[in-house]
C-alpha cells in the first residue's frame, strides 16, 4: 500500500515519456515530409500571388517616388560625365541651365515611361514559375528545421501536458483503488 504514493510520479513520468516519444516521431515525420511541405508552400504562394498586384505595386506613386532621388543622381552623373565624354560637342554648349533642362526632360520622360516598361516586363517574366523554382530549391532539411524550430514551444507544452495527464490519471487510479477497497474489501 505504501507504493501507491509513487503512482502519480510514475504516471507523470510515463505521460511525459509518451508525449516526448510522440514529439520525436512528429519531428521525424516533418523531416521526411520536407519535400512535400516545400511543394505545398510553392503551390500556395502561386495561388495567392497576383502578377497584376505586383506590377501595380512596382509602378505605384510611392514606389516611383522612392526611385526619384536615385534617378536624379544617375541622370545628373550621366549628363555631367558620360554624355560629355561620348559627345564632346555637348560639353562646349552645356551650361548649368541646359544641364538642368536636359535633366528635367530626361527625368520627366523616364517617370512617364517607366510604369509602362515595368508593367510590360513583369507581365513578360513568369514570376510565379520563377518563385516556384526558387522555393523548390530550398533544401527539405532547412524547411524541416525551421518548422521544428517554430513548433518547439508546442513540443515542450505537449510534454508538460503529457506529464500532467499521466499524473492526473494516476491520481484517478489511486482514487479508484481506494473506492474499490472501500466498497468491495471492507
Domain tally, the chain: 1
Tell me, what's the pLDDT at 93?
Answer: 67
Better pLDDT: 175 or 91: 175
Structural domain including 17 reads 2-184
pTM, to two decimals: 0.49
pLDDT value, residue 144: 76
Mean pLDDT of the chain: 79
| pLDDT (0 to 100) of residue 59 | 74
Side-chain-side CA neighbours of residue 150 (13 Å) = 7
Question: In whole angstroms, what is the distance from residue 70 CA to residue 48 CA?
Answer: 32
Amino acid at each position: 500500500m505504501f507504493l501507491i504514493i509513487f503512482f502519480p510520479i510514475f504516471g507523470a513520468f510515463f505521460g511525459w515519456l509518451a508525449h516526448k516519444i510522440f514529439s520525436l516521431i512528429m519531428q521525424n515525420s516533418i523531416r521526411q515530409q520536407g519535400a512535400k511541405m516545400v511543394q505545398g508552400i510553392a503551390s500556395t504562394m502561386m495561388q495567392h500571388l497576383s502578377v497584376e498586384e505586383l506590377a501595380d505595386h512596382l509602378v505605384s506613386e510611392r514606389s516611383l517616388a522612392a526611385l526619384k532621388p536615385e534617378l536624379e543622381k544617375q541622370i545628373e552623373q550621366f549628363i555631367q560625365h558620360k554624355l560629355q565624354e561620348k559627345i564632346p560637342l555637348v560639353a562646349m554648349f552645356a551650361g548649368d541651365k541646359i544641364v538642368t533642362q536636359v535633366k528635367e526632360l530626361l527625368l520627366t520622360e523616364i517617370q512617364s515611361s517607366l510604369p509602362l516598361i515595368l508593367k510590360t516586363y513583369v507581365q513578360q517574366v513568369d514570376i510565379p514559375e520563377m518563385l516556384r523554382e526558387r522555393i523548390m530549391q530550398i533544401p527539405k532539411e532547412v524547411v524541416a528545421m525551421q518548422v521544428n524550430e517554430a513548433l518547439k514551444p508546442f513540443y515542450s507544452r505537449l510534454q508538460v501536458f503529457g506529464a500532467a495527464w499521466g499524473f492526473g490519471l494516476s491520481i484517478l487510479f489511486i482514487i479508484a483503488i481506494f473506492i474499490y477497497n472501500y466498497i468491495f474489501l471492507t
